[in-house]
Amino acid sequence: MAFDLERVRAQFPALEREVHGHPLTYLDSASTAQKPRVVVQAMTRALEASANIHRGVHALSIEATEAYEAARHSVGRLLGGVPAEEVVFVRGTTEAVNLVAATLGPSRVGPGDQVLVTELEHHSNLVPWQRLCAARGATLGVVPIDDQGELRLEALEALLGPRTRLVAMSHASNSLGTRLPVAEVCRRAHAVGAVVLVDGAQGVVHGPVDVRALGCDFYAFSGHKLYGPTGAGALWGRRELLASMPPWQSGGDMVAEVGLGSASYREPPHRFEAGTPDIVGVIGLGAAIEWFLALGPAAVAAHDAELLAHATEVLAQVPGLRVIGTARERIGLVSFILEGLHPHDVGTALDLEGIAIRTGHHCTQPVMDHFDVPATARASFGVYTTPAELDRLGEALLRARALLRGGR
């Protein structure tokens, strides 16, 4: 592999623990990733000497402000070298999508207009657009997927038109692992004058991202999937679009001047960051990004591809196992069902062997409806995942199948 896997694993305290007498095998990174010590240490330092940001002139406030704004530059580097002033800190992808829907949405979407989403979307990149369309008298169009979990581009072409105002799509599916053709969708959407928002919660974790090369207009991600803390994420937007958007929340730090009867607002990104933010979380996010960039996104992508290939081989040896989602381009996760067994029972049996996976609809109920399943079991990989852990998964699934089916 392109990086020292054992050295990487040694940086994660969680991997030293046992669960039910077994070494922890953590295969739930798509939900939230474990945190390396460097992130924990950066957040601890910020907590041990705390101060608010931006307005203080004393040493602790200056230090906190510098660390907070350094994280903004780190996000810019992560996304291909975009300017820091195009980076808005949010709690995560969900808040980023809601911010754009609430501010850009009303000015761009009106009666008779159309917003497009894909059938693969996480609920957080679906429900805000449902609400916007309902409030504005617009239509929500859905680009379908095929039975491999790939986006049907011919259907996209049929749906796009002069009333299409915005396209919202995932970079990669959290429930199937499908890597979507973002650049091609952006090209087609821009041809009809639509803007494109990309949910990058799963995309930014699995390899290099250059938002300008993708051609999107907004890109959002959550820090806790990128080996950082929960409650801290980022929204990147094109400068001219951010400048056209009104504030979302009001309060301190987003204002330029305030009188009793009126107020003026700061330029982006500060216009969208009202009140005291999660300073410690953002500092932790910055540390996670710098750690990830030092590891090498290209090396991460290579590791990811190796794990996916190995997992595919391992799971093929389990009788009655059906993989849900077999797109040609996928990130490091596999969703599956075992014939005759509920995914929750499978997840519980694996937990007894110290193996953590995710079970349920993964906040993508339309995807479950497409494949006519109520839920799946999902094993998702991180930079710390080893081929041996995937072997353990396969062996444990064989035992779980025998146990839950009474040896049949």
- Do 25 and 143 lie in a common domain? no
Q: Would residue 269 count as lying in a domain?
A: yes
- Examine the domain organization and report whether 264 and 278 are in the same domain: yes
Side by side, which strands form the sheet with 114-118? 87-90, 233-237, 218-222, 195-199, 164-170, 114-118, 139-143
CATH classification of the domain holding 158: 3.40.640.10
Domain-embedded: residue 47: yes
Same domain flag for 22 and 157: no
Q: Are residues 305 and 246 in the same domain?
A: no
Residue 171: inside a domain: yes
Task: Give the CATH number for residue 381.
Answer: 3.90.1150.10
CB 350 within 8 A of CB 22: no
- Considering the domain architecture, whether residues 300 and 272 belong to the same structural domain is answered as no
Residues 241 and 317 reside in one and the same domain: no
In a domain, 35, yes or no: no
Q: Which pLDDT value is given to residue 408?
A: 45
Domain end marker among 263, 278, 294: 294
State which of 261, 294, 327 marks the end of a domain.
Answer: 294
The tens-digit pLDDT sequence of the chain (408 residues) is 457 999 999 999 999 999 999 999 999 999 999 999 999 999 999 999 999 999 899 999 999 999 999 999 999 999 999 999 999 999 999 999 999 999 999 999 999 999 999 999 999 999 999 999 999 999 999 999 999 999 999 999 999 999 999 999 999 999 999 999 999 999 999 999 999 999 999 999 999 999 999 999 999 999 999 999 999 999 999 999 999 999 999 999 999 999 999 999 999 999 999 999 999 999 999 999 999 999 999 999 999 999 999 999 999 999 999 999 999 999 999 999 999 999 999 999 999 999 999 999 999 999 999 999 999 999 999 999 999 999 999 999 999 988 877 644
Q: Model's pTM, two decimal places?
A: 0.96
Residues annotated catalytic, as ranges? 363
What is the phi/psi pair of residue 349, to 5°? -65, -40
| 90 falls within a domain | yes
Residues 114/138, Cβ–Cβ less than 8 Å: yes
Residues 263 and 315 in one domain: no
- Indicate whether 275 belongs to any domain: yes
Q: Which domain holds residue 323?
A: 5-30+296-404
Q: Are residues 288 and 143 in the same domain?
A: yes
Residue appearing with tokens 């617009």: 138
**Domain end residue (candidates: 294, 324, 357):** 294
280 and 396 in a single domain? The answer is no
Same domain, yes or no, for 261 and 303? no
Query: Quick check: bond before 297 cis, omega within 30?
Result: no
Q: Are residues 117 and 235 in the same domain?
A: yes
Q: What is the pLDDT of residue 407?
A: 47
Answer yes or no: do 59 and 203 share one domain. yes
Instruction: Name the average pLDDT for the chain.
Output: 97
Phi, psi of 196 (to 5 degrees): -125, 125
pLDDT reported for residue 2: 54
Number of domains making up the chain = 2
